[in-house]
Chains A and B, each alone.
Chain A
Amino acid sequence: MDYNQTFAKEVYEKVDSGDEIKVCMQCGVCGATCPLRGEMKYGPRQIWSLIRAGRRDEVLNNPDIMLCTSCYTCQVRCPRGVPIMEVMHGLAHYALAQGIVPRAETAKFGKAFWEGIYDTGRVDEAVVPIKYCLQDGLVAGLKKSLGMMDIGLALMKAKRMKPKMFIPPNIFIPGVHKIKGVKQLQRMLDKAAAIDAAKEA
């Protein structure tokens, strides 16, 4: 393999927790314990290898970096103490910030989730799925939400969901609960974003 340090340096400096992979000894315990390794082309160990080899496009476009369930199995077993999960999330976040979308559905859901937090301070289970579905446009969004109707109805029957949850045209939901300090929270999040943006630039 050809070694080119430019991309590795980029990862160490700009990706959240990226510099932690420096101590990896390539033992492979992470991949061997990952519940979704069978669904990945590369596990964490191989991704770190590709980073060291300077394969920027291959790493950032690799859907594996967004298939981490956050289960911490690898992390508690890594003999070198690499916070593997944080690095995987850091890489996914970094790719998304560059406009690359390693996994479309998870990216859309995560975006809707984050917007829910930013707009109201909490995640309203009545709003996030609607936002998630509507990112594909109204027609596709309707179709997607109809596909989830069985789950929605089952939850409604069990009185575990408000009826409006899977009704996409209901975009302007009145009375969505906002925390009292939502404005201050937004100011805090903006300030935090500015700090990390300076790092990523």
Chain B
Amino acid sequence: MDYFLYYGCSLEGGGVHYMISTEAVAKALGINFHEIEDWNCCGASIAYIGGNEMQSIVLNARNLALAEAQGGYDIVAPCSSCYIMLNKVNRELQAHPKLMAQVNEILAEGGLKYSGQIRVRHILDLLYHDVGVEKIKAAVKKPLTGVKVAAYYGCQTTRPFGEYDSCENPHTQDDILAALGAEVVEFGHRVKCCGSGIFLTEIDKCAYLVKDIIESAAAGGAQIISTACPMCQMNLEIYQQRVNAITGANLNMPVVFVTQLMALAFGGDKDGAAALNRLVVPSGPALQAVGA
């Protein structure tokens, strides 16, 4: 199984534990990831402040054109924001030949051309639909028995297209976690927004979003939250002290990537393949049942 892994900017920094665990999971499942040579930033959900609509389109069209020229594999994005930006532009270009022609005139500045052949996928889509729950189950060496986890989706993981999972009631991450042997809890805030790209600059307002999500997961019985987006993981995890100070809450909830839990269940080292040592809020008692 060959794919492009679109790293995006956060996988090299704040989301490095996503990259480490994703690569370990890919190895265990026989997924072959290629890098798009000389990829550029997707612009994320905040590009509109400095750039206009056409510039946003061009940023993503360049990556699509590079992928097409370098082998044409599906692009898999582990970051929900990268996934949406690439996917949105791809769909627009595929649907509007006039726009495609206009964009190709611009891409020609770099000797590039895009014809619309690439598919953009979220990593949950790849894991659930291409790999499949059965194969994931078969790769489990250390089941996550007794781990009480909340599967948090947030916003752009499934919205707005709902291509591979439901916008309102998604299940792919729940099913993957259940395949690992974990106990997946029910909670109300699984598709509520965490504040995304404006969290830090509007923290007085967004702190309440994070508070409500984590308290909802805790009320459902979760000891740990699983995410599939570096922005979610960051916003829910590293600012908890600050959120407590602003809202008067008392949050202390570990937040990991779904791939970290997969790497652990596949028998990977807790601080190696599962990169649990990269957490700001330690996993603590949440993973004690499985010795991590």
Residues of A within 8 A of B (CB): 16-17, 35-36, 39, 66-73, 75-76, 85, 89-90, 92-93, 96, 103, 105-111, 113-118, 121-126, 150-151, 154-155, 157-162, 179-181, 184-185, 187-189, 191-193, 195-197, 200
Distance, CA A75 to CA B17, complexed state (A): 32
Q: B14 to chain A: which residues have CB within 8 Å?
A: 125, 155, 160-161
Q: Which of B39-55 contact A (CB under 8 A)?
A: 39-41, 43-55
Q: Is the interface of A mostly helix, strand, loop or mixed?
A: helix
Which residue on chain A has the smallest CB distance to residue B167? A76
Min C-beta distance of B90 to chain A, whole Å: 16
Q: A17 to chain B: which residues have CB within 8 Å?
A: 53
Which residue on chain A has the smallest CB distance to residue B45? A70
Inter-chain contact B198/A69, CB cutoff 8 Å: yes
Inter-chain contact B277/A111, CB cutoff 8 Å: no
Inter-chain contact A184/B198, CB cutoff 8 Å: no
Distance, CA A181 to CA B58, complexed state (A): 14
Question: A160: which of B16, B49, B192, B198 is its contact (CB, 8 Å)?
Answer: B16
Distance, CA A76 to CA B205, complexed state (A): 23
Say whether B217 faces chain A, with CB atoms less than 8 Å apart: no
Which residue on chain A has the smallest CB distance to residue B13? A125
Inter-chain contact B280/A114, CB cutoff 8 Å: no
Say whether B110 faces chain A, with CB atoms less than 8 Å apart: yes
Known: A90-B48, A114-B50. 13 other contacts (CB 8 A): A16-B48, A35-B193, A69-B206, A76-B159, A106-B49, A110-B49, A123-B9, A125-B13, A150-B241, A159-B16, A181-B40, A188-B106, A189-B59
Inter-chain contact A193/B54, CB cutoff 8 Å: yes
Say whether B131 faces chain A, with CB atoms less than 8 Å apart: no
Say whether B185 faces chain A, with CB atoms less than 8 Å apart: no
Which residue on chain B has the smallest CB distance to residue A132? B201
Question: A122: which of B41, B195, B279 is its contact (CB, 8 Å)?
Answer: B41
Min C-beta distance of B66 to chain A, whole Å: 9
Distance, CA A16 to CA B241, complexed state (A): 38
Whether A193 touches B278, Cβ cut-off 8 Å, given contacts A67-B202, A122-B9, A181-B38, is no
Inter-chain contact B196/A193, CB cutoff 8 Å: no
Say whether B188 faces chain A, with CB atoms less than 8 Å apart: no
Inter-chain contact A154/B205, CB cutoff 8 Å: no
Inter-chain contact B62/A196, CB cutoff 8 Å: no
Inter-chain contact B54/A71, CB cutoff 8 Å: no
Min C-beta distance of A143 to chain B, whole Å: 16
Whether A159 touches B277, Cβ cut-off 8 Å, given contacts A17-B53, A69-B206, A106-B198, is yes
0/1 per residue, B82-123, Cβ < 8 Å to A?
A: 000000000000000000001001110111000000000000
Distance, CA A121 to CA B277, complexed state (A): 30
Distance, CA A123 to CA B49, complexed state (A): 15
Inter-chain contact B202/A103, CB cutoff 8 Å: yes
Min C-beta distance of A119 to chain B, whole Å: 11
Distance, CA A85 to CA B51, complexed state (A): 16
Distance, CA A76 to CA B30, complexed state (A): 35
The residue in A118, A161, A191 that gathers the most chain B C-beta atoms within 10 A of its C-beta is: A191
Inter-chain contact A107/B49, CB cutoff 8 Å: yes
Inter-chain contact A105/B201, CB cutoff 8 Å: yes
Inter-chain contact A159/B278, CB cutoff 8 Å: yes
The residue in B40, B49, B195 that gathers the most chain A C-beta atoms within 10 A of its C-beta is: B49
Say whether B200 faces chain A, with CB atoms less than 8 Å apart: yes
Inter-chain contact B278/A158, CB cutoff 8 Å: yes
Q: B59 to chain A: which residues have CB within 8 Å?
A: 117, 185, 189
